[in-house]
Structure 1
């Protein structure tokens, strides 16, 4: 990093999500071949990590090992170490914590996203959850804890203090707009999360944002020191409000904005190495 560079960020791409189909956007990748092709394009555009959602033969979101393992292996074969590959455990009202945990243990991806409110829905689930989260860290899997609200963030700090979550080898994702009217986030939605404790963390954190103002939200977040997750999962419009050509096009727009604001973008290697800080 040059002496004049004030900020550093990694771009994460979420190309399809759990719910959208090609009725939402013709370029939304569904099949394994489509996903692999789009992941490579996003890597070449400047992404350091991909957030993968597998679909079954009918195009429906799946946490089944038979759908996730082949997809994960195909993507890793295509990108190697040039891109961090993260598998989702999103339940979408279809899966229970036991099934989410089984997927991670069966596939053992290099990175995984975990919604705390899904994996630890009630207080009496803490012991089993603690064993699972510590197993993830001990096996070198990069956990990304998904937080939808200030309450989720406060719970995260409590779980760290209690030892339920290991205080190393993980990442945070703050989700903006999921429960807003029309699922449309705005940059000011980030304000409640911006406590001193967030900035004092040894762990990197990221933001994703639903709706047409995704680019504005992510730009604001990067200027706060955050990583940025972009892609059709949350929004398929570009920064001018037009329908985006592709996920890769969205990544390129974020790369261009980062350059204009003197934000240094992290490579997959640098991003991967950053998770050893604080261990």
Structure 2
């Protein structure tokens, strides 16, 4: 990239999550075919990555290697390599760390997100978490560590400083808020992660909840971060109207980012920008 070129922002779409169903929004993608169509629409709207959850036939959250392979194959058939496909290892109160790790290893995806509080809730769980990261580095699986508050960022930074994990800098996702019905995140929710003295990760992204999702993530982009939007956390446009689909949320943020003079990272750029070091 030229020295005078605009900074590129990676937009990831999280189109379904593990909780919401067609009863919440008829356009939420739950099947492999629906995920593939959504991936193509969001690629066109400006996304460089898709964050994938899979579901059981009754709509419940699922971690299953075969189902993940089917979803990945469907998305690849639709968009090729033009999106990073990141799978979730989220427990949702159903799975334990050993089950989560086993599915990750069986799928061996391009990228995966791991919630720090699920894999490393205390000091005793740290070695197993570090071993899983060692495996990810060995097999070329891009990690993204999900952090729900600044105390988790401090603990992760401590592990990195001690050399307990195989990278000196890893991609992280700051979650602004919680999965509750009435949650509406605000841009100021990002400040505890970025305040003076807080751990500094060179590669960070943000997701937020509710109709201010776009405001939160655009603020993050202006402050040097990347962004994640989608039906996992929000169904509404900034003016409060119900979005017709995930692509509308992606397009809203992509348009704002570009109007502010930033570039949009395609998958090739995203693979470079989101690397672990």
- TM superposition shift of 1:225: 0.8
Q: 1 CA distance for matches of 2:79 and 2:111?
A: 14
Match of 2:211 in 1: 212
Match of 1:241 in 2: 240
Task: Write the mapping of 1:29-48 to structure 2, written as runs, cut at 5 A.
Answer: 29-48=29-48
Work out whether 1:256 is the aligned partner of 2:218: no
Residue 108 to residue 72, structure 1, CA distance change in 2 (3 Å): same
Larger CA deviation: 156-165 vs 44-53: 156-165
SS in structure 1 of the partner of residue 253 of structure 2: helix
SS in structure 1 of the partner of residue 146 of structure 2: strand
SS in structure 2 of the partner of residue 239 of structure 1: coil
Q: 2:17 touches 2:231 (CA, 8 Å); kept in 1?
A: yes
Match of 1:267 in 2: 266
- TM superposition shift of 1:128: 1.7
- TM superposition shift of 1:235: 0.3
Match of 1:148 in 2: 148
Deviations 1:72-113 (A, max 9, x none): 222223222110000000100000000000011000000000
SS in structure 2 of the partner of residue 272 of structure 1: helix
Q: 2:13 touches 2:229 (CA, 8 Å); kept in 1?
A: yes
- TM superposition shift of 1:190: 0.5
Q: 2:171 touches 2:276 (CA, 8 Å); kept in 1?
A: no
Task: Write the mapping of 1:57-206 to structure 2, written as runs, cut at 5 A.
Answer: 57-167=57-167, 170-178=170-178, 182-195=182-195, 201=201, 203-206=202-205
Residue 4 to residue 242, structure 1, CA distance change in 2 (3 Å): farther
Q: 1 CA distance for matches of 2:39 and 2:168?
A: 28
TM-score normalised according to structure 2 size? 0.94
- TM superposition shift of 1:177: 1.3
SS in structure 2 of the partner of residue 87 of structure 1: strand
Deviations 1:119-169 (A, max 9, x none): 112221222221111110121110000000011111110111122322257
TM-score normalised according to structure 1 size? 0.93
Deviations 1:238-269 (A, max 9, x none): 12111011101111111110111111111110
Q: 2 CA distance for matches of 1:89 and 1:185?
A: 23
Residues paired across the two proteins, number: 277
SS in structure 1 of the partner of residue 100 of structure 2: helix
**Which runs of 5 or more structure 2 residues have no equivalent in the other structure?**
none
Larger CA deviation: 157-166 vs 104-113: 157-166
Q: 1:45 touches 1:252 (CA, 8 Å); kept in 2?
A: yes
- TM superposition shift of 1:170: 3.5
Q: CA RMSD in A?
A: 2.0
Match of 2:222 in 1: 223
Q: 2 CA distance for matches of 1:138 and 1:33?
A: 31
Q: 1:63 touches 1:100 (CA, 8 Å); kept in 2?
A: yes
Q: 2 CA distance for matches of 1:198 and 1:44?
A: 36
Q: 2:13 touches 2:230 (CA, 8 Å); kept in 1?
A: yes
